[in-house]
């Protein structure tokens, strides 16, 4: 089916083909992450066959919980292209932008959690996300392209609502959702693409509390979606006016991120 669809497309539209290939690879990456995370969730079902001695049985009776986190992240941009022509000395060009590949980064932070009742708790998680993104601009007709690397140091302060199942033995799965004000501390000007430093991200994820004799470990998978258009259209920072064509080729830029995190409490 994909082969027939590609034949239907313009054979010279190399950038479109690259985008479709990228999304297929992205889907496989997400499936691999979910596959690696699945054994943690399945452990609870297997252990439900018999009761075992609980580690730290009164830990969840505390109102306040503290900890720290280590994790990896994959940062991305969802770019909406305008598809408008750029005329340079009588030559018409059509520029399109996308993020063709992903580079894993790492995350560190601290956890503060307050218990509301047996199933609900509120978490505040100041976190630093270190990573980078590669944005490729490609001219549709000629295949000319240019690349820009954007290194990001994101300061994020998520406020999440955690909804937990009942604990059985030493496992307790949960889901989490919330919002995270986010600030990029390393925005650089004078390049092809300039993004705003402030964003608000919507978060949704799942995890499982694992109780050990001396600590609790919490693996968590979370998906983050930026709600603001980060594209900076006022490019007074540009010294080379020809670079403005890259900004004008884009309608909006929204951030996205996947995090796989280990919390220790």
Give residue 23's pLDDT: 43
Identify the domain containing residue 65 by its residue range: 2-264
Note whether 222 and 205 are within 8 A (CB): yes
Q: Which of 153, 169, 136, 198 is nearest to 46 (CA)?
A: 169
| CA separation for the pair 189, 238 (Å, rounded) | 8
CA distances from 259 to 11, 17, 108, 194, 230 (A): 37, 28, 11, 24, 20
Q: Which residue has the higher pLDDT, 196 or 240?
A: 196
Phi first, then psi, for residue 39 (nearest 5°) are -60, -30
What total of structural domains would you count in the chain? 1
Q: Which of 259, 265, 260, 262 is nearest to 76 (CA)?
A: 259
Give residue 49's pLDDT: 55
Region for residue 89 given its phi and psi (left: phi exceeds 0; alpha: psi -120 to 50; beta: otherwise) = left
At 41, list the tokens: 């969730």
Contacts of 255 (CB under 8 A, 6+ apart): 75, 76, 77, 78, 182, 199, 201, 224, 225, 226, 230
Q: Rounded mean pLDDT of 80-104?
A: 89
Assign residue 184 the CATH number of its domain.
Answer: 2.40.160.20
Q: Which residue has the higher pLDDT, 34 or 210?
A: 210
Average pLDDT, rounded, for the chain: 84
| CA separation for the pair 155, 107 (Å, rounded) | 10
Give residue 32's pLDDT: 47
Note whether 250 and 79 are within 8 A (CB): yes
Quick: pLDDT tens for 151-184. 999 999 999 999 999 999 999 999 999 999 999 9
At 250, list the tokens: 């884009």
Quick: pLDDT tens for 215-240. 999 999 999 999 999 999 998 888 88
Give residue 29's pLDDT: 54
At 119, list the tokens: 């199933």
Model pTM? Answer: 0.78
């Amino acid at each position: 089916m994909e082969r027939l669809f590609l034949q239907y497309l313009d054979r010279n539209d190399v950038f479109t083909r690259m985008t479709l290939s990228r999304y297929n690879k992205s889907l496989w990456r997400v499936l691999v992450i979910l596959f690696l995370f699945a054994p943690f969730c399945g452990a609870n079902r297997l252990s439900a066959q018999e009761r075992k001695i609980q580690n730290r049985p009164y830990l969840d009776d505390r109102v306040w919980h503290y900890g720290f986190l280590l994790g990896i992240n994959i940062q991305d941009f969802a770019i909406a292209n305008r598809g408008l022509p750029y005329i340079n000395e009588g030559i018409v060009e059509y520029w399109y932008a996308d993020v063709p590949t992903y580079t894993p980064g790492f995350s560190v932070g601290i956890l503060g959690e307050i218990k509301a009742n047996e199933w609900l708790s509120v978490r505040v998680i100041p976190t630093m996300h270190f990573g980078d993104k590669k944005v490729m601009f490609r001219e549709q007709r000629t295949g000319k392209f240019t690349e820009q690397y954007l290194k990001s140091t994101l300061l994020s302060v998520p406020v999440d609502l955690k909804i937990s199942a009942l604990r059985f033995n030493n496992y307790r799965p949960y889901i989490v959702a919330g919002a995270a004000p986010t600030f990029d501390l390393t925005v650089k000007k004078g390049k092809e693409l300039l993004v705003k430093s402030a964003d608000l991200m919507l978060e949704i994820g799942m995890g499982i509390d694992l109780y050990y004799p001396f600590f609790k470990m919490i693996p968590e998978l979370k998906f983050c979606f930026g709600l603001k258009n980060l594209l900076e259209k006022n490019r007074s920072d540009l010294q080379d006016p020809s670079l403005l064509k890259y900004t004008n080729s884009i309608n909006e830029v929204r951030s996205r991120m996947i995090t796989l995190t280990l919390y220790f409490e």
